[in-house]
Structure 1
Amino acid sequence: MASVCDPKYAPAGDVSGALMVIDSRLKAIYDGGREIDPEQRQLTDQFAASLGPRGAHDLLDGACTIIYMFMTWLRRAHEDHDKDVIEYVVPTLVASMRMMPKSIRPEAIPTMAGLVVAAGMGLSPSLWRQQYGKWTKEEMNPLEATAFLLAEHINRLTDDREFATRLISNALSKAEGA
């Protein structure tokens, strides 16, 4: 029986926009952990302000799609070594989130861990989350951090600071060409 959380039923959302946000955060961290340069912050703020309610929802779906894609890649990479992605990724992710109390309130961590577990099991994170009601404002930073932390995890595994961004960009290019 097919799950109502099957990714084929999920909207992809604004994957390009979500990737832009994640990539800018990665570059800021890799650039010595300095604050995002003022011009980049202004562009990101202008982008966010231009979204409107529908665009913001699409951005959320895009972030969930990216989380799903990252976890699919991680699951396959871990399976190649006879390891369980949930066992190896989720504890590290939760530990990282717990070290970010200004950005991620403790009560948001179980939801973000649930998103990652759902994605690791081949379910749509956005459809899984939808079962529990609408997104809250308090979940926005944790969602962004979850996608960022997964990207950074992938980049560390591959020893390539741009691998995660390239992974999604390549998938977008293939989808547009299909």
Structure 2
Amino acid sequence: MSSPCDPQHAPAGDVGTALMMIDSRLKCIHDGKSGSDPEQQELVDQFAASLGPQGTKDLLDGACTLIFMFMKWLRMTHEQHEKDVIEYVVPTLVATMRMMPRSCPSEVIPTMAGLVIAAGTGLSPNLWRKQYGHWTDEEMTPLEVTAFLLAEHINRIADDPDFATRMITEALSGVDEN
């Protein structure tokens, strides 16, 4: 029986824009800029304000699609070494988020862990989250942090600071060609 959280029922959203935002954060960190660059944050805020309600929903769905794709890659990679992706990814993710109380208040960390676990077990993170109501404002930054941390984790495993972005870009190119 198919789950209502099956990814085939989930909208992909605006994966390109979500990836652009995550890649921008990754480059900022790797360029040695610690913390939040005020200019970049202002541009992101202006961009988000220009999206409108449907654009914001598409961006949220896109971020969840990224989380799903990142976790799918991590699951396949961990299974090659006979390891459980949940056991190896979720505790590190939660511990890192706990060290970021301004970006990730403790009350939203269980939701982000749930999203990652849903994705790690092959469920759609956005449909999983939808079961519990609408997204809250308090969850927006932690959602971005979750996607960022998963991308960074993949980049460290691959020993390539652009691997996660390139992987998604190539997957999107393959979809466009089909």
TM-score (norm 2): 0.96
Deviations 1:7-51 (A, max 9, x none): 00000000001001101110111111344373x445433321210
* 2:37 alignment counterpart: 36
Cα distance between partner residues in 1 of 2:172 and 2:14: 11
Query: Deviation at 1:133?
Result: 0.2
Question: Which amino acid is the alignment partner of residue 122 of structure 2?
Answer: G
* 2:153 alignment counterpart: 153
Cα distance between partner residues in 2 of 1:82 and 1:105: 33
Please identify, of 40-49 and 155-164, the stretch whose mean Cα deviation from structure 2 is larger.
40-49
Cα distance between partner residues in 1 of 2:94 and 2:43: 30
2:156 aligned counterpart, secondary structure: helix
* 1:18 alignment counterpart: 18
* 1:54 alignment counterpart: 54
2:32 aligned counterpart, secondary structure: coil
Query: Deviation at 1:81?
Result: 0.2
Question: Which amino acid is the alignment partner of residue 58 of structure 1?
Answer: D
Q: Judging changes above 3 Å, is the alpha-carbon distance between structure 1 residues 42 and 105 closer, same or farther for their aligned structure 2 residues? A: closer
* 1:129 alignment counterpart: 129
* 2:164 alignment counterpart: 164
Cα distance between partner residues in 1 of 2:110 and 2:38: 32
* 1:86 alignment counterpart: 86
CA contact (8 A) 1:23 1:165 kept: yes
CA contact (8 A) 1:25 1:36 kept: no
Gap runs ≥5 in structure 1? none
Question: Which amino acid is the alignment partner of residue 49 of structure 1?
Answer: A
Cα distance between partner residues in 2 of 1:152 and 1:78: 16
Q: Percent identity?
A: 69
* 2:7 alignment counterpart: 7
Gap runs ≥5 in structure 2? none
**In the alignment, does 2:139 pair up with 1:139?**
yes
2:65 aligned counterpart, secondary structure: helix
Which runs of structure 2 are paired with 1:102-113 in the superposition (5 Å)?
102-113=102-113
Deviations 1:90-129 (A, max 9, x none): 0000000000001000000000000000000000000000
Cα distance between partner residues in 2 of 1:99 and 1:41: 21
Residues matched between the structures, number: 177
CA contact (8 A) 1:119 1:125 kept: yes
